[in-house]
Chain A
């Protein structure tokens, strides 16, 4: 198997927070606003991410992965999210699909896809949302029927992150008895990708609508168990996605804090630096506090995942809810601190503000998060 070091000798390898920070500061932060304006992440960065081993470093070493624990993966995604939420979103969906194939795939499916997903030779997208179904997965209308020993897929998926670029789609569709997950290569006849442009936030995450018209799939397209446990593929995959979004939200808070600290240290009002004004200090101190609190919640969720504890699911809901709402709040305050400058293109905070709003919606809206947190609390406590 070709290793990353062989494909890009001398390239910076991302193995922890420190190396992720160095990668992000060099290759992402200077260009994130340009990606946002252009509405896409350039191929050059995708290749650099491949060379750095960023796509799925948590995959087991025996499959060519880095065997990275999920606490460290969360720290890496936080750093990428600090640089650019669009890039982090690409990592999120690729992580979800890579994990799902590794966790639920048959030996043949793992052999076919996992090494390529780990290297980044194949990029993946997660296809759940539809024009009429978002957080409510039970409302999906895309369907598959068994035919000639295989499957025929029909339906439309919408708001698919990296749909414009991904090579492999993990598509959730209604079967005769439940909901199943299907691996669909992009080049399958009947697959049509339509870019969705000009989104509010994560504008460079190459979102698409994907239509499946009589797409013929082999019997090996079904990923994971069928029957009552089929929903676990969705539950487990979304859990990891929420974890990544939570880490990315911490990254947004940190980016807002760093931008505001720099701005407040040189901008004067009435002869005083902004940083010396009590109301500005209050905003900055709240950012510091929430960044630390959100980071701890994310780390707890990651630690529980590494330990295989079932309670990680609840911990991840809480982390995602807290971190995303804090990110939206502080990104708004970051624009406020920057005043009119914060509303233009010369500073990153307008992008942070738009991206943060998205974090409150994706991988389960925060309303759904609150319902599930309350439901879990009710059955455990009340």
Chain B
């Protein structure tokens, strides 16, 4: 799922900030535009798109720094695949 998840997450971030040049490793916090509103949108997007619920103890800044770390979060929260 990770590859697909990364692309979907990047698409979401780029759609919100089309002027920003972002790749899957880039720290979006370092770009300076993340606030509590965008954090809320990110959480809603991830929960809706990947059908997961992010528990409070996973709502840590390091999980949301980049498309890579968010995709890893999605992998951890997704039901085990066979």
A310 contacts the other chain (CB 8 A):
yes
Tell me if B15 and A380 are in contact (CB < 8 A): yes
B41 contacts the other chain (CB 8 A):
yes
A106 contacts the other chain (CB 8 A):
yes
Interface centre among A106, A225, A313 (most CB of B within 10 A): A225
| A176–B50 alpha-carbon span in the complex (Å) | 34
Tell me if A104 and B56 are in contact (CB < 8 A): yes
| A228–B15 alpha-carbon span in the complex (Å) | 22
| Majority-rule SS of A interface residues | helix
B36 contacts the other chain (CB 8 A):
yes
Tell me if A225 and B56 are in contact (CB < 8 A): yes
Within the complex, the shortest CB–CB distance from A69 to chain B, in Å, comes to: 15
Tell me if A228 and B40 are in contact (CB < 8 A): no
Given A104-B56, A380-B16, the answer on whether A231 and B47 have CB atoms closer than 8 Å is: no
| A307–B39 alpha-carbon span in the complex (Å) | 18
Nearest-neighbor residue (CB-CB) of B12 within chain A? A310
What count of chain A residues pass the 8 Å CB interface test?
23
Tell me if B45 and A310 are in contact (CB < 8 A): yes
Given A308-B48, A309-B48, the answer on whether A232 and B16 have CB atoms closer than 8 Å is: no
| A372–B40 alpha-carbon span in the complex (Å) | 15
Within the complex, the shortest CB–CB distance from A104 to chain B, in Å, comes to: 7
A81 contacts the other chain (CB 8 A):
no
| A273–B59 alpha-carbon span in the complex (Å) | 63
Tell me if A232 and B48 are in contact (CB < 8 A): no
Tell me if B40 and A313 are in contact (CB < 8 A): yes
A60 contacts the other chain (CB 8 A):
no
Q: What's the count of A-B pairs with C-beta under 8 Å?
A: 65
Nearest-neighbor residue (CB-CB) of B29 within chain A? A228
Tell me if A308 and B16 are in contact (CB < 8 A): no
A336-382 contacts to B (CB < 8 Å): 372, 379-380
A302-324 contacts to B (CB < 8 Å): 307-310, 312-313
B37 contacts the other chain (CB 8 A):
yes
B29-43 contacts to A (CB < 8 Å): 29, 33-37, 39-43
A235 contacts the other chain (CB 8 A):
yes
B81 contacts the other chain (CB 8 A):
no
A188 contacts the other chain (CB 8 A):
no
A230-261 contacts to B (CB < 8 Å): 230-232, 234-236, 239
29 residue pairs from A and B, CB less than 8 Å apart: A225-B60, A227-B61, A228-B29, A228-B60, A228-B61, A228-B64, A229-B43, A229-B59, A229-B64, A230-B36, A231-B35, A231-B39, A232-B36, A232-B39, A232-B40, A232-B43, A234-B36, A235-B36, A235-B37, A236-B40, A239-B40, A309-B44, A310-B40, A310-B41, A310-B44, A313-B40, A379-B17, A380-B15, A380-B16
Please provide the 3 A-B residue pairs with the shortest distance between their CB atoms, ordered closest to farther: A231-B36, A225-B59, A308-B48
- Give 5 A-B pairs besides A231-B40, A235-B36, A313-B41 with Cβ atoms closer than 8 angstroms: A230-B36, A231-B35, A232-B40, A310-B45, A310-B48
